[in-house]
Amino acid sequence: MSKVLISDSMSKVVQKIFEKNKISIDVKIGLPEEEIIKIISEYDGMVVRSATKVTKNIILAAKKLKVIGRAGAGIDNIDVATAKENNMIVMNTPGGNSNATAEHAFALIMSLLRRIPFANETTHKGQWEKKNIKGTELSKKTLGIVGFGNVGVRLSNLVKGFDMNILVNSKSLESRKKYYPHVKNVSFDELISNSDIISFHCKAAKDGKPLITKEHYKKMKPTAYIINAARGNIVDEKDLNDALNENLIAGAAIDVYSKEPAKENILFNNPKVILTPHIAASTTEASIVVAEMIANQICKFLLKGVKINTV
Ligand code: MLT
């Protein structure tokens, strides 16, 4: 009987699916790397979210491991190259949490434009800041979406009713643009110079370098906002903080960080920034969908050799 290690907390649906398929599981959450190394040789499969770092040392200690499943989209916590060199396959669940992430990006946009966190905090304190809070409307503004995969596409569809212009920067859009007549594909420079809101929904660069640098902020509208609910290293936090302090842009909303969990960060306490703790994909619905997807994919692979959503 195959055996699978579940090392991050996730919907119980995962356990039910493995049990139904007669695959034995151990749920051991929050183990440090050295503990995983001690036990990993027992397992044929492993399921993680983003907390477990599946390192080279874990992979080399995994004598039977055939598959590593990521309940989510990003695979930056898995050493995919070493896994492949050792004949393991890595799977993720693309699309499973795209709507959740796009809706969170939209919530961040609205929170920034209507100053909801500040309004909430001050009203709770009995400070009536009505005169000091003036929002900005979405209508007639330009939304720039960097990256046009599942999340970027979903965000572009969500804002359809808001009467916005939508610019996209995506290499892969050219071949499929007939499906998305509501967006215009432009260069990165054109997007940042013309957008009122810029939302990142792309992968981080392979070399880890930020996509947006000091020079870019100088080309942006001083009233522009930046949203990052993709990966922390896409936006350099120091450069962003400087750009905000120098009034090169108006504000930012950030869900992902260069170092997570973010216990210290240069953006902390900057009043122009709204911060959330990497929760864009954290909805009841999405956590069930990604759990179902990854458990079914791993069962199909371990029982029938069928490979779905391999990376
Ligand atoms: C993902 O990669 O799917 C998201 O960042 C969600 C997460 O891992 O928490």
* 126 and 267 assigned to the same domain: yes
Q: Is the CB of 97 under 6 A from ligand 1?
A: yes
* 63 and 121 assigned to the same domain: no
* 82 and 112 assigned to the same domain: no
**Interstrand relation of 142-146 and 67-70 (parallel, antiparallel or unpaired):** unpaired
CA distance 92 to 54: 14
CA distance 68 to 225: 37
Residue 193 half-sphere exposure toward CB, CA atoms < 13 A: 7
Q: What is the DSSP string of 199-255?
A: EE-SPPPTT---SB-HHHHHHS-TT-EEEE-S-GGGB-HHHHHHHHHTTSSSEEEES
**Interstrand relation of 24-27 and 3-6 (parallel, antiparallel or unpaired):** parallel
244 pLDDT tier (thresholds 50, 70, 90): very high
Say whether 260 sits in a helix, a strand or coil: coil
Say if residues 23 and 66 touch (Cβ distance below 8 Å).
Answer: no
Which residue's CA is minimally distant from atom 2 of ligand 1? 74
Is 139 a domain residue? yes
pLDDT at 128 over 90: yes
Instruction: Please tell me the predicted confidence (pLDDT) of residue 206.
Output: 87
For residue 290, the ligand 1 atom closest to its alpha carbon is 3
| 49 part of the active site | no
Q: What's the whole-number mean pLDDT along residues 301-309?
A: 98
Is 310 a domain residue? no
For residue 92, the ligand 1 atom closest to its alpha carbon is 3
Is 309 a domain residue? no
The one catalytic residue among 49, 216, 231, 292: 231
* 68 and 178 assigned to the same domain: no
* 106 and 227 assigned to the same domain: yes
Q: Which pTM does this prediction carry? A: 0.95
Q: What average pLDDT is seen over the chain?
A: 97
Q: Is the CB of 47 under 6 A from ligand 1?
A: no
Q: Is the CB of 73 under 6 A from ligand 1?
A: yes
List the beta bridge partners of residue 25: 4
* 63 and 181 assigned to the same domain: no
Q: What's the whole-number mean pLDDT along residues 146-175?
A: 97
Distance (angstroms) between ligand 1 centre and the Cα of 122 equals: 32
Is 60 a domain residue? yes
| 216 part of the active site | no
Distance (angstroms) between ligand 1 centre and the Cα of 72 equals: 5
Q: Is the CB of 149 under 6 A from ligand 1?
A: no
Q: What's the whole-number mean pLDDT along residues 259-278?
A: 97
b/e map of 209-222 (b: 16 or more CB within 10 Å)? ebbbeeebbeebbe
In sequence order, the 6+-apart residues with CB closer than 8 A to the CB of 300 are 306, 308
Q: Is the CB of 150 under 6 A from ligand 1?
A: no
* 45 and 184 assigned to the same domain: no
Q: What's the whole-number mean pLDDT along residues 274-278?
A: 98
pLDDT at 133 over 90: yes
Instruction: Please tell me the predicted confidence (pLDDT) of residue 40.
Output: 98
Instruction: Write out the residue range of the structural domain in which residue 214 sits.
Output: 98-275
CA distance 46 to 34: 16
CA distance 173 to 165: 17
CA distance 47 to 68: 6
List the beta bridge partners of residue 273: 252
| 260 part of the active site | yes
* 267 and 289 assigned to the same domain: no
Q: What's the whole-number mean pLDDT along residues 243-269?
A: 97
Domain count across the chain: 2
Is 71 a domain residue? yes
CA distance 126 to 175: 54
Q: Is the CB of 241 under 6 A from ligand 1?
A: no
Torsion angle of alpha carbons 239, 240, 243, 249, nearest 10°?
Answer: 150
Q: Is the CB of 278 under 6 A from ligand 1?
A: yes
* 21 and 103 assigned to the same domain: no
* 72 and 203 assigned to the same domain: no
Is 311 a domain residue? no
For residue 93, the ligand 1 atom closest to its alpha carbon is 3
Instruction: Please tell me the predicted confidence (pLDDT) of residue 185.
Output: 98
> Tell me, what CATH number does 255's domain have?
3.40.50.720
* 43 and 149 assigned to the same domain: no
**Interstrand relation of 225-228 and 197-200 (parallel, antiparallel or unpaired):** parallel
For residue 163, what is the DSSP state? T
Strand segments (E) across the chain:
3-6, 24-27, 45-48, 67-70, 89-91, 142-146, 165-169, 184-185, 197-200, 225-228, 251-254, 273-275
Instruction: Please tell me the predicted confidence (pLDDT) of residue 94.
Output: 96
